[in-house]
Amino acid sequence: MPYLEARDLVVEYATRHGAVRALDEASLTVDAGEVVGVVGESGSGKSTIGTALARLLPGNARIAGGDVRVDGVSLLEMGDDELRALRRDRLGFVFQDPIGTLDPTARIGRQLRWVLGKGTSDATLAAQLERVRLSDPERVLRAFPHQLSGGMAQRVSIALALAREPRAVIADEPTASLDASVRGEILELLVGRTREAGAALMLMSHDLRAVRRWCTRVAVVYGGRVVETAPAERLFAAPRHPYTRALLEAAPGAERPGERLRPIAGIPPVLRGEFGGCAFAARCACAVEACTAQRPPLARLDDDGAAQPDHEVLCHLATVATPPRKERVA
């Protein structure tokens, strides 16, 4: 049984311009011990999946269908106390902006005591900071968040997220706001600490290189649906969804000498309600008639006859090894 699960999840945000359907039957699982990367362009629904998995959606959001489960139990049936206990004891969170996430009015030591209990000794608090490789833990315990660099504050956030030994950590772009020079070590620390703690990690990221390096499995999100999932090595070596292929071709580092990156032509959709076809059809160089008319079925792939039950693709052309490309859509 997966530890985290979104099943056919539909989430809509109420806005001044009507409803925005951020998730449109999205399904995703994270098993114990896995590091699952969630990738996709801005607005595809990555953050919404992460927040829905802890029922931390903002007030204008509503779950309009499907289910979210932690350790097999539906969060939709939980009362407020049970939900709070679940978030406190079994889930950890790391967000993009560490200084904004920390309480600006409280010293770090006090914030750690909110998580670990009032009676926690200074030595225990300092040990938590040593585990995230903060070199002068006593000084950091006395500091306010604004006195820390972004990298130090994110180390504190990681310490806070892991302090109660959660079973799963949800990290939404944990390095995006940090100086490029510290991104690598912060990600290494996050993955290392979650592994040491035996927790699962769900990592929402735009950084495909980092996802390739650290994740065991990858889920690709487009238009509020998870359109492809596979073990990381396989997804990068043999992507099957035309969107995944386009995303990999557009990623820095994918270009060959003398060649430019191939940006994905067109813009991602903003869904307003139920959508009958494949959300990528309008931008897809391989689209056929069925793509605009019917929702694609979920295909589990065969590779040279050998079943690949862990490689799933939501595409009408999933079983065509290399669908012919048409002219690129502008």
Ligand X SMILES: Nc1ncnc2c1ncn2[C@@H]1O[C@H](COP(=O)(O)OP(=O)(O)OP(=O)(O)O)[C@@H](O)[C@H]1O
Report in angstroms how near the CB of residue 208 gets to ligand X at its nearest: 13
Q: Which is nearer to ligand X, 25 or 137 (CB)?
A: 25
Angle value at C-alpha 236, between 231 and 239, nearest 5 degrees: 90
Q: Provide the 3-class DSSP secondary structure of residue 38.
A: strand
Report in angstroms how near the CB of residue 180 gets to ligand X at its nearest: 18
Report in angstroms how near the CB of residue 247 gets to ligand X at its nearest: 12
| DSSP code of residue 322 | S
Q: Which two tokens stand for residue 219?
A: 């889920």
> Which one of residues 47, 111, 154, 244 is an interface residue with ligand X (CB under 6 A)?
47
Q: Which two tokens stand for residue 5?
A: 């699960």
Instruction: State the number of binding residues for ligand X (CB under 6 A).
Output: 15
Report in angstroms how near the CB of residue 45 gets to ligand X at its nearest: 4
By the rule CB under 6 A, 270 interacts with ligand X: yes
Q: How far apart are CA 238 and CA 43, in angstroms?
A: 25
> Which one of residues 40, 66, 145, 223 is an interface residue with ligand X (CB under 6 A)?
40
> Which one of residues 29, 48, 157, 229 is an interface residue with ligand X (CB under 6 A)?
48
Backbone torsions φ then ψ of 65, nearest 5 degrees: 180, 165
> Which one of residues 45, 92, 98, 296 is an interface residue with ligand X (CB under 6 A)?
45
Report in angstroms how near the CB of residue 91 gets to ligand X at its nearest: 18
- DSSP β-bridge partners for residue 147: none
**Which span (39-47, 121-129, 232-240, 318-326) binds ligand X, by CB under 6 A?**
39-47
Q: Which is nearer to ligand X, 58 or 276 (CB)?
A: 58
Report in angstroms how near the CB of residue 200 gets to ligand X at its nearest: 19
Q: Which two tokens stand for residue 110?
A: 């006090």
Sort strands 217-222 and 225-231 into parallel, antiparallel or unpaired.
antiparallel
CA atoms within 13 A on the CB side of 308: 21
> Which one of residues 27, 29, 44, 154 is an interface residue with ligand X (CB under 6 A)?
44
> Which one of residues 6, 22, 28, 279 is an interface residue with ligand X (CB under 6 A)?
22
> Which one of residues 1, 17, 42, 309 is an interface residue with ligand X (CB under 6 A)?
42
**Which span (26-34, 41-49, 121-129, 131-139) binds ligand X, by CB under 6 A?**
41-49
**Residue among 157, 47, 51, 57 at smallest CA distance from 99:** 157
x/- mask, ligand X, residues 116-155, rule CB under 6 A, reads: ----------------------------------------
Chain centroid to CA 167: 16
Q: How far apart are CA 82 and CA 117, in angstroms?
A: 19
Dihedral of CA atoms 241, 247, 250, 256 in degrees, nearest 10, equals: -50
Q: Which residue has the tokens 């809509």?
A: 12
**Residue among 95, 99, 104, 124 at smallest CA distance from 112:** 124
- Sign, CA dihedral 188-197-98-202, equals positive
Q: Which is nearer to ligand X, 263 or 297 (CB)?
A: 263
By the rule CB under 6 A, 13 interacts with ligand X: yes
Residues at the contact surface with ligand X, assessed by CB under 6 A: 13, 15, 20, 22, 40, 42-48, 58, 60, 270
